[in-house]
Structure 1
Amino acid sequence: MESSSCADIKVDARKAICQPMGCVKIRFGENVFMVDKGLLEIHCEYFRALFHSGMKECHQDEIYLPALSAPGFLVTLRVLHGERPILSGDEIVEAIQCAAFLHVEVLTEHLVNIVNSDNCLLMYHTAATFGLLRLFNSTALFIRDMYEDLKEDVKCLPKDLIEYVKCPIPSSYVTVGTHSPTIKLLQDFMRTVCYLDEGEKDWKVLTHLPLDASTTMAGVAVLDNKLYIVGGVYDVTNKVVDSGFCYDVSTDTWSTFSSPQQLRYNCSLVGHEGNLYIIGGEQNKTVISSVERYKVLTDTWNFAAHLPRPAAAVACTTTMSRLFICLWRPKDISEIYEYIRKEDKWELTTTLVRHQSYGHCMVAHRDNLYVMRNGPSDDFLRCVMDCYNLTTGQWSAMPGHYENSKGALFTAVVRGDSVFTVNRRATVEYSIEENKWRTKKEMTGFPRIGSMWTFLLRLPKKTSEALEKKDNGPEIYSLPLNSVKCTE
């Protein structure tokens, strides 16, 4: 994928020109941008404070910013106008400087979204230099997750930054299988949530499920390093569990929370922008289209826009601060929709027509959506994939069938620039490359029957015994600026 360029400032700057009323000139040497004053006030804390300060600058038609660069400001304007550009190294440095100086949260968010193994060290060092803490924390966590692949390159960083990047706890691959509620006298010791010990290449118990919790046809998701289970059925009548369950990994405790207004099963649960979304599913053996959003802070559920049509077990994923679902429509049509939160609607992103035997799964890596399906024909032990690039709007077929003798790919999760897949016989880590997934290592499978849910959690440091209490484990690491010699 080609990087965008800000080389031709005079031509690209025209995109920022607005009508004279309500505009202000922003000058960088010989380069002048005519920008909507309201746009700057909404998105830039620096300009918002300036325009309401009463200082003479807030009444001037032209503002001079000698500390910043024109290319960096152009990237800022592109992001403010809704673009999501892939940036070169020089553009990254200048964009970070602008984000830190002007306090542009939407630009910081975009920089967080495009962190990868090629640019993470540059972003980490530059974010430390300019004191952009959100990006600094995000890149530190990314590097920690990819440390084995990056450890030689990390040596080029200043010593204090090297030491700090070793502080966070890396993400662990966690899986839970299908289980129904049990009673205390007949506690099922297989009712466990397990994590993958990559050093020993084996699964270990993280926690036991609460007695009343069900993962049979439930919604399972992670939000802010906490595991949530909603819905699920029990006994022969398939009654829906009417409590939600939350596992806080930092305290090794379970708690309950309210259920959606519309009880459901065979549904999908996803965490996005601080909220949980429960999507579709079934109620009284009828497939439904309703969606509800759960606000963790207030323990309340509210209805969001309905799906375009009723659907159960919806494939969904988040990437680039966006939420996507994939609906399969017989015969052989997959449709990807994006949830537009500001407008509370589902918007069709793209349609794929491919022969499919049954089932599908979707995962995301940066601006790529990977749609996996079993097939071709009736060969459900093989998995084929197509990739949709959000930047180019193009589909491409992934070469090969990602076939292995140990079974089909039913579930997957992305960590850094790797993706893990798991079935009963094998857990495989792939390196995500431009047009393929390359096998990195293979470990033992998850030896449980039924469906599986996979996700990532940052597990606190543990004692040598698997089920003892954790020592500590903050989810986000905040480093004082002076301890990494940051300057404004």
Structure 2
Amino acid sequence: MKIQSFEVMESNSCPSSSQQPGHGKPPDSLRVSIADRSFTVDKSLLSENCEYFRALFQSGMRECQQEEVHLQCVGVLGFVVMLRVLGGERPTLSSDQIVEAIECTAFLQVPALTKHLIHIVNSENCLLMYHTAATYGVWELYHGSALFIRDMYSDLKEEVHSLPNRLVEYIESLLPSSYMAVCSHSPSTERLQDLQRTVCHLDEDHSEWKVLTHLPVSTSTTMAGVAVLDNKLYIIGGVQDVSKKVVESGFCYDPAANTWSTICGSQQLRYNFTLIGHDGGLYAIGGEFNMKALSSVERYSVSTGSWRFVAPLPCPTALVVSAVAMNRIFICLWRGKGASDIHEYVYEWDQWVLVTTLIREHSYGLHMVAHKDNLYVMRNGPCDDFLLCVMDCYNLSSGQWTAMAGQYGNSKGSLLTAVGRGDSVFTLSRQVTTEYSVEEDKWRVKREMEGFGRIGSIYTFLMRLPQAPVSTMGKVCGSGPDRQRLPQILPMLW
């Protein structure tokens, strides 16, 4: 998917242009030479995206007037990756490309390239990313890859301890992601508080669910939008009762301070909608109002505290299935007759773009989970068995669908609550919480823990929680959570 264009030219493939300066070179462009390769690139592209070239062009020095620049500290592989990213591509990279891309973004100061590297960190490249980012001082990537490693620490412990001590210590100083859940609850009152109205987290060391915080009395999680952005929990909308009167305010929970605050709700009142936290904003997608499906989409900017409408959905839809893969928003829309369309929201164009169509017989529901450059689409099992799920995998790089082996669900819990972390996917039911290991052709059960003993719809997500004594965390049990609240919390290492 191209957003901008550039021209790559090897000097030995076009002798006339290399021998006659200015000939064959587009206006307002620059020839960049690295070793024995030449690249003809639009100056505005370089100036807008590279601090090095912006400073060069504004310096007033003789070099800023030259038609050709020789770069000594950047490799060809890294520069090509940079141009691809600036051209709108989202490439997966080999080890050599990763090292040179990090070198390139360190020397030329290219935020878009750094951002892309953070978004493609995975279990296969995270240690290389981390060590190389530390070497070249790309601190945003250093921190992002360290967070990923912290979430997979138990799986990568042996490899991690081959790193220098200071790098190991930084990883261990970070907080891991916790698997979280909250059920659907209507608002209550101060006088008649419902002790079930809690946000809970999974204590993986003790394999049990514990209370993190109680919902504010006026908050509704029934048919609400629930999402995490910048490690804060947002609850938008929701209905007050069977009348489906929408709660107009939004609510935000900050685990670092253990406090709730209110924000303005979306301009279009809505329920049964999807809320996605992404890249500094919240996206309220589709839903219903007055029993009518909506196609409108709104984006909330945390920096400005305001909502604005963005491109609407291709069709009115409630409970839109969604996932974020490689920092790209994808939704799955049921089209009928066994067809489901995967669309991507392209922020630069403010458009929903059709990516692919899956044609299968579906029954009760869909869910979608991202892992690396794969989208896993879950649907209910054979004979309309809503207790079993089957999966298909779409690879964004190859554009190919693959039917995954096996069936999932039943006593293992519904995959319609699945959340990915590292190379694992967590899902739950009232009986059991299951961690799956994502493998090439199937998901394998890794371990089972205590179930989430609540009824009703469940929202699941990940958050990084500050450390607190275990005794202060209320345990979730069948009769309701402990009344204890979190004490004053130490600042998060974030």
For the residues of structure 2 that align with 1:399 and 1:10, how far apart are their CA atoms? 46
2:442 corresponds, among 416, 436, 459, to 436
- Could you tell me how far 1:219 is from its partner in structure 2? 0.5
Structure 1 partner of 2:5? none
Match of 2:487 in 1: 469
Q: 1:100 to 1:186 in 2, by over 3 A?
A: same
Partner of 1:183: 189
Q: Report the AA paired with residue 422 of structure 2.
A: G
Question: Displacement, 1:408?
Answer: 2.6
Give yes or no for the alignment of 1:400 onto 2:393: no
Partner amino acid, structure 2, of 1:363: V
**Do the aligned partners of 1:13 and 1:33 also contact (CA within 8 Å) in 2?**
no
Tell me, yes or no, if structure 1 residue 342 matches structure 2 residue 342: no
1:91 matches 2:97 = yes
The answer to whether the 8 Å contact 1:232/1:240 transfers is yes
1:72 to 75, 78, 85: 78
- Distance of aligned partners of 1:81 and 1:422 in 2 relative to their CA distance in 1, 3 Å threshold: same
> How far did residue 437 of structure 1 move?
1.5
Q: Which residue of 2 aligns with 1:308?
A: 314
Q: Following the alignment from structure 1 to structure 2, what is the Cα–Cα distance between the partners of residues 132 and 235?
A: 50
Q: Which amino acid in 2 is paired with 1:46?
A: Y
Q: Does 1:358 align with 2:376?
A: no
Q: 2 CA distance for matches of 1:81 and 1:208?
A: 46
Amino acid at match of 2:193: Q
| Equivalent position to 1:412, from 406, 415, 418 | 418
Report deviation, 1:365: 1.4
CA contact (8 A) 2:9 2:39 kept: no
TM-score, scaled to structure 2 = 0.91
Does the 8 A contact of 2:370 with 2:376 survive in 1?
yes
Q: CA deviation at 1:86?
A: 1.6
Structure 2 segments unaligned to the other structure (5+ residues): 1-7, 19-23, 474-484
Question: Which residue matches 2:382?
Answer: 376
Match of 1:228 in 2: 234
Letter in 1 for 2:486: E
Structure 1, residues 358-401: CA drift from partner, whole Å, max 9, x if none?
Answer: 11111111211111111222211100111111111111111111
Q: Distance in 2 between matches of 1:472 and 1:138?
A: 22
Aligned residue in 2 for 1:295: 301
- In the alignment, what sits opposite 2:36? 30
Contact 2:173 2:493 in 1 (8 A): no
Alignment correspondent of 1:243: 249
1:82 to 60, 77, 88: 88
- Count matched residues: 467
Q: Which range moves more in the overlay, 325-334 or 279-288?
A: 325-334
Q: 2:136 aligns to what?
A: 130
Q: 1:263 aligns with which of 259, 262, 269?
A: 269
**In structure 2, what is the Cα distance between the partners aligned to 1:20 and 1:452?**
57
TM-score by length of 1: 0.92
d(CA) in 1 for partners of 2:292, 2:13: 54
AA partner of residue 472 (structure 1): L
Shift of 1:300: 1.1
For residue 195 of structure 1, give the secondary structure of its aligned residue in structure 2: strand
**Cα distance, 1:256 vs structure 2:** 0.9
Contact residue 34 and residue 72 of structure 2 kept, 8 A: yes
Aligned residue identity for 1:474: M
Residue identity opposite 1:97 in structure 2: E
Cα gap change, 1:433/1:9 in structure 2, threshold over 3 Å: closer, same or farther? farther
Correspondence 1:205 to 2:223: no
Q: Are 1:273 and 2:291 counterparts?
A: no
Q: In the TM superposition, what is the alpha-carbon distance from 1:232 to its structure 2 partner?
A: 0.8
Aligned residues of 1:369 and 1:390 also touching (Cα < 8 A) = yes
CA distance in 2, matches of 1:295, 1:88: 35
Matched residue, 2:62: 56
> How far apart, CA to CA, are the structure 1 residues paired with 2:173 and 2:47?
37
- Rounded to whole Å, the distance in 2 between the matches of 1:275 and 1:328 is 26
User: Which amino acid in the other structure matches residue 257 of structure 2?
Assistant: T
**Equivalent AA in structure 1 for residue 97 of structure 2:** E
Q: What amino acid is the match of 1:231?
A: G
Structure 1 residues 454 and 83: alpha-carbon distance in aligned structure 2, compared to 1, 3 A threshold: same
Kindly indicate whether the alpha-carbon contact (under 8 Å) linking 1:459 and 1:473 is maintained by their aligned counterparts in 2: no
Structure 2 residue identity aligned to 1:44: C
Secondary structure of residue in 2 paired with 1:123: helix
Q: Deviations over 1:256-277 (max 9, x none)?
A: 1111111111111111110001
Aligned partner of 1:455 in structure 2 is: 461
- Answer whether contact 1:80 1:106 (CA < 8 A) is retained: yes
The one-letter amino acid of 2:240's match is Y
2:34 is the counterpart of 1:46: no
1:26-83 Cα shifts (integer Å, max 9, x gaps) = 1222222222222211211111110111111111122111112112212212222222
Aligned counterparts of 1:321 and 1:98: Cα–Cα separation in 2: 21
Correspondence for 1:326: 332
Deviates further, 161-170 or 57-66? 57-66
1:333-375 Cα shifts (integer Å, max 9, x gaps): 1111111122222111111110111111111112111111112
**Mapping of residues 102-117 of structure 1, within 5 Å:** 102-117=108-123
Once the two structures are superposed, residues 459-481 of structure 1 have per-residue CA deviations (whole angstroms, 9 ceiling, x without a partner) of 011123113225334363xxxxx
Contact 1:355–1:376 (CA under 8 A) maintained in structure 2: no
**Aligned-pair CA distance for 1:223:** 0.5
Q: Any conservation in 2 of the 1:339–1:347 contact (CA below 8 Å)?
A: yes
What is the CA–CA distance in structure 2 between the aligned matches of 1:363 and 1:89, rounded to whole Å? 26
2:155 aligned with 1:141, yes or no? no
- SS of 1:111 mapped into structure 2: helix
- Secondary structure of the 1:409 match is strand
Structure 1's unaligned 5+ residue stretches are 1-7, 477-488
CA contact under 8 A between 1:79 and 1:107: conserved in structure 2?
Answer: yes
Q: SS where residue 187 of structure 2 aligns?
A: coil
Amino acid paired to 1:402: Y
**8 Å contact 1:361–1:371 — kept in the other structure?**
yes
1:72-98: CA deviations, max 9, x gaps?
212212222222222111211111000
Would the alpha carbon gap of residues 11 and 337 (structure 1) be closer, same or farther in structure 2, given more than 3 Å must change?
farther
On the 8 A contact 1:270/1:278 being kept in 2, the answer is yes
